[in-house]
Amino acid sequence: MLNPNLKLNTKIFADDCEQLPIRTGFGEGLAIAGEQYKHIVALCADLTESTQMHLFKQKFPERFIEMGIAEQNMASVASGMAAMGKYPFFSSYAMFSPGRNWEQIRTTIAYNNRPCVIVGSHAGVSVGPDGGTHQAIEDIAITRVIPRMTVISPCDAIQAKKATLALAADNKIAYLRLAREKTPIITTDETPFELGKGQIMYRPDGLAHVAFVATGALVVQALRAAKFLEKKGIKVLVVNIHTIKPIDAELLVQVARETKAIVTIEEHQVIGGLGGAVAEVLAQKCPTPIEFIGVQDLFGQSGTPNELIEHYGMGLDAIMTATHKVLERKN
C-alpha cells in the first residue's frame, strides 16, 4: 500500500489520475521563489516557455536575461552573476544544458564555487517525436560526477515545485532534471520533501521480496508495476530517489538489507545514472543483486513516449523480467 506518512495521491493507480508536465512545477516554484528571494535571477537560452521560465519572466522582467541560443555563455554569465551575490537559475533542454556547456558548468560554476541551478528540461526519451538529438539520457551521469554538484530528479510537478523552493532556500550548486511530457501526479501538497532524503512510497503487507528504486517520471511506472506484481504474489517496496546526489545511502542500505534484491528504474542510460549511484553505495556497504532498468547504452529516436519507453526496455514487461531475474539471483 501507499506509505500513509507521505500523504500521496490516492488516485495514482486510477486511469483518470490527474497528469501535469514535471516542468510546470518548476515554473510555478521559481515564480514563487522569486517573490521570497530577491537575489534569484533567471536566464534562458531561447526556450523560455518550453522550460516554463516565462512565469518568472512575467513577474520579474528586470531579473530575467534572455541569452539567445548560447548555452556556454549562459553558464558562465550565471557564474558571474553569482559572484555578485545573485542566485541564478538557468534553463534550456537538458541536452544542451548541461549537455553542451558541461565544461563551463564544471569550471566556472562548480570549481569556481559560484552557486547556480542548472535546469535541464526535456530529459529522457519521453521527449518523443523530436528524436534522439533532443533526448538527454546522459545528463545525470555528467552532472553527478562533478564535485559540489547536487542532482535532483523530481517524480512529478508538485515535487518539482517543492524541489525548486528547497533549492532557492539553500543556495546550492545543483542540477534540476525535468521531463517534458505530462506525468501522473503522485505526491500532494502535504507530502514532505527534504533534499537528500529518499522516500519509501509503497510497502507491501509483510516482508518485501524486492525493492524498486526509481527516479523522475518513471516512479509512477515503478508504483504501478509494484501494485501489479503484488497481485501475482511478488511483494515489492518502492523507493523514490529524487536526490540522486548526495544519495540517501542510509535508506538504500536499509532497503537492501530488508529485501536483498533491487531493481533500479530510470529514464537515463544505465551507465552512470541512478543505477550506477545505487550500485556504488551497495557494492561498498551492502552487496546486493541489482538489475538496471534504463536505456542500455543506445541513442534514442522518434516515436511516442510510450512506444519509446517500451522499445528501450523501461515498460512494465521489462520491469517484470528484471524482477524475476533479480529474484532468481537472490535465491
Partner 1 sequence: MQHKIDNIRELQIQANDIRENIISMLLTAGSGHTAGPLGMADVFTALYFNLLRHDPANPYWEDRDRVVLSNGHICPVLYATLAQVGYFPVAELQTLRTFGSRLQGHPHREFLDIVENSSGPLGSGLSQAIGMAIASRIDTGKSGSRFFYCLLGDGELDEGQNWEAVLLANKERLGNLIAIVDRNNIQIDGYTEDVMPMLDVAKKFESFGWHTQEIDGNNISEIIDAVHRAQGVFSQPSVIIARTIPGKGVREFERKFEWHGKAPNPTEAKIALDELRTLGGKIKSEHK
Residue 71 is a catalytic residue: yes
Rounded Cα distance, 32 and 51, in Å: 16
Q: Tell me how far apart the 2 most distant CA atoms of the chain are, in Å.
A: 61
CA dihedral 5, 225, 281, 152 (to 10 degrees): -70
Assigned C-alpha cell, 180: 517534458
Q: Which range in 79-87, 154-162, 239-247, 309-317 contacts partner 1 by CB under 8 A?
A: 79-87
Q: Which range in 59-67, 263-271, 287-295, 310-318 contacts partner 1 by CB under 8 A?
A: 59-67
When asked if residue 41 is in the footprint of partner 1 (CB under 8 A), the reply is: yes
Q: Number of helices and strands (H, E) in the chain? A: 11, 14
When asked if residue 70 is in the footprint of partner 1 (CB under 8 A), the reply is: yes
Q: Which is nearer to partner 1, 10 or 113 (CB)?
A: 113
When asked if residue 67 is in the footprint of partner 1 (CB under 8 A), the reply is: yes
Closest CA to 22 of 146, 141, 177, 211: 177
Task: For residue 106, list its beta bridge partners.
Answer: none
Instruction: State the number of binding residues for partner 1 (CB under 8 A).
Output: 29
When asked if residue 111 is in the footprint of partner 1 (CB under 8 A), the reply is: yes
- State the minimum distance, in angstroms, from the CB of residue 38 to partner 1: 10
- State the minimum distance, in angstroms, from the CB of residue 69 to partner 1: 9
Q: Which of 71, 181, 266, 291 is catalytic?
A: 71
Rounded Cα distance, 300 and 138, in Å: 11
Rounded Cα distance, 78 and 11, in Å: 40
Interface residue list for partner 1 (CB under 8 A): 41, 62-63, 65, 67-68, 70, 72-73, 75-86, 88, 103-104, 107-108, 111-113
